[in-house]
Amino acid sequence: MKRILIALLLISFLLFAACPQQDTPAYPVYPDALGRTAYGFFPSPTEATVQGIFDIYEAMGRHADVALLQQNIPWEEFVDSVQTNSKTIIDIGNQYTLSHENGLEVIFVVDPLNGLNRSEFYNLPAGWEASFGNPDIRAAFTNFVISIVRMYHPSYLGLASEINTYHDTHPDDFEYYLSLYREVYDQVKAEAPDTKIFVTFQWEEMNNLIPGVARGEPYEVNWFQIEQFEPKLDIWAISSYPFIIFTSGKDIPADYYSSLLTRTLKPIAVAEGGYSSEDVMSFSGSTQGQVDYLNAIHAQLGGERLAFWIYLLLADFDMESYVAVMTEQGHAHDAPTLGIFEAVGLCESDYTPKPALATWDSFRSGD
């Protein structure tokens, strides 16, 4: 299943990089300080404009505690050294600062893969071998992560997104990723021992519910894909988009997520996910389905073990606006995949609330 995430964040990042650079606040962020689950979104604007980015952060400030910034790796910029004064690192500070101005903490995820096709790397330089065994890839990955750690002192840091999808398509190369992860984990802990490190795992695929890539029987969870990271895994984090599997939110099994709590004693997180409020392509969606999805996660995972919960979109996006920018950036071929997630937001694109927003807010406030 191709993913939307990097396309949304790439557009946000490119637009926001056009804003004036700001000094980065010299303090760390601690979602743990809330003393409860931190609720948040990806800062993806409803329109692919600079104003759209300011608007989404302001709206998130009313409905969230955290913003998740998912960053692709500028390979050539970081292949030779750690750089805290690079344009990329400083540009990230624009979003970091805007998050804090709107009362939001920040969670970072560094992602080497293409968010619309996780079987491939994102934007590798010409001639680079697409393998985690490539010394240049390993160096750039490591240097970029350490640059973020030194500049932003993250409390939570992800070192890949939905990595089991790469494992399923490239099992031989995955061993190189795993060794790289362990090396980077140790380096981050040496510099920032309190930073909690995780990777995310695509839950529908781990449950062998995705045709063509299943490695077992439906609902037979591929636990080994998580457990091979132990003991160097501080949080067990998943992504989940069950509308690609179930025809109704009420069809989500009552124990679909809860097995996470019995498989590990560590904190857990929903680092990405959502449910469409409308039918799209061959997938079913509804406003009630969104409510049922939120209720399923809250009922099965909610509580002191749930460190953070990231929903993909606060508001739907204007597809025409995004297609225009994607065409300009040479990504028009990804527009159909992007459209699958157009109605995942908890608000319409004009910020009119859908019923699920009240459900989300009630969970966040503890009502």
pLDDT in tens, 170-213: 999 999 999 999 999 999 999 999 999 999 999 999 999 998 88
Residue 224 exposed, middle or buried by CB count within 10 Å (0-12, 13-18, 19+): exposed
Q: Is 259 or 333 the better-scoring residue by pLDDT?
A: 259
For 139, the token pair is 């160096």
Query: pLDDT value at position 338?
Result: 73
* Lowest pLDDT segment from 5-9, 12-16, 177-181, 234-238: 5-9
Q: How confident is the model at residue 102 (pLDDT cuts 50, 70, 90)?
A: very high
* Structure-block tokens of residue 229: 């990271």
**Residue 236 pLDDT grade (very low, low, confident, very high; cuts 50, 70, 90):** very high
Question: How many separate domains does the chain show?
Answer: 1
- Spatial separation of the C-alpha atoms in residues 135 and 79, rounded to whole Å: 9
H/E element, 93: helix 87-101
- pLDDT at position 255: 97
Q: Which domain holds residue 13?
A: 5-365
Amino acid (1-letter code) at residue 263: R
Give the pLDDT of residue 11.
46
Average pLDDT estimate for 234-248: 96
Q: pLDDT digit string (tens) for 33-72? A: 778 999 999 999 998 788 889 999 999 999 999 999 999 9
pLDDT at residue 15, as a whole number:
46
Mean pLDDT of the chain: 89
pLDDT tens digits, residue range 334-363?
Answer: 666 777 888 999 999 999 999 999 999 999
CA distances from 170 to 75, 167, 173, 223 (A): 21, 5, 5, 18
DSSP assignment of 34-83, as one string?
Answer: GSSPEEEE----SSSSHHHHHHHHHHHHHH-SEEEEEEE--HHHHSS---
Above 70 in pLDDT, residue 98?
Answer: yes
Yes or no: say if 351 and 59 are a contact pair by the CB < 8 Å rule: yes
Task: Check pLDDT > 80 for residue 364.
Answer: yes
For residue 28, the model assigns a pLDDT of 54
Q: What is the mean pLDDT of residues 219-247?
A: 97
| Mean pLDDT value across residues 127-152 | 97
CA 253-107-17 angle, 5° bins: 120
Average pLDDT over residues 136-150: 97
Local confidence band at 114 (pLDDT 50, 70, 90 cut-offs): confident
Under the banding of pLDDT at 50, 70 and 90, the label for residue 22 is low
3-state secondary structure of 193: coil
Percent of the chain whose pLDDT exceeds 90: 72
366: its two tokens: 């503890």
| pLDDT of 119 over the 90 cut | no
What integer pLDDT is reported at residue 9 of this predicted model?
A: 47
- Would you say 197 and 159 are in contact if contact means Cβ atoms under 8 Å apart? yes
Residue 252 near residue 242, CB atoms below 8 Å: yes
pLDDT at 84: 83
CB 101 within 8 A of CB 50: no
Scanning the structure block, which residue is given the tokens 């049922």?
Answer: 292
Interval 252-260 mean pLDDT: 97
What does the block give as tokens for 91? 């540009």
pLDDT: is 282 or 20 the higher one? 282
| 32 has a pLDDT exceeding 50 | yes
User: Residue 47 and residue 64: Cα distance in Å, rounded?
Assistant: 20
Say what the pLDDT of residue 165 is: 94
Q: What is the pLDDT of residue 29?
A: 57
Tell me what the mean pLDDT of segment 292-306 comes to: 97
Q: What CATH number did the domain enclosing 109 receive? A: 3.20.20.80
What pLDDT sits at residue 7?
42
In the prediction, which pLDDT does 323 show? 76
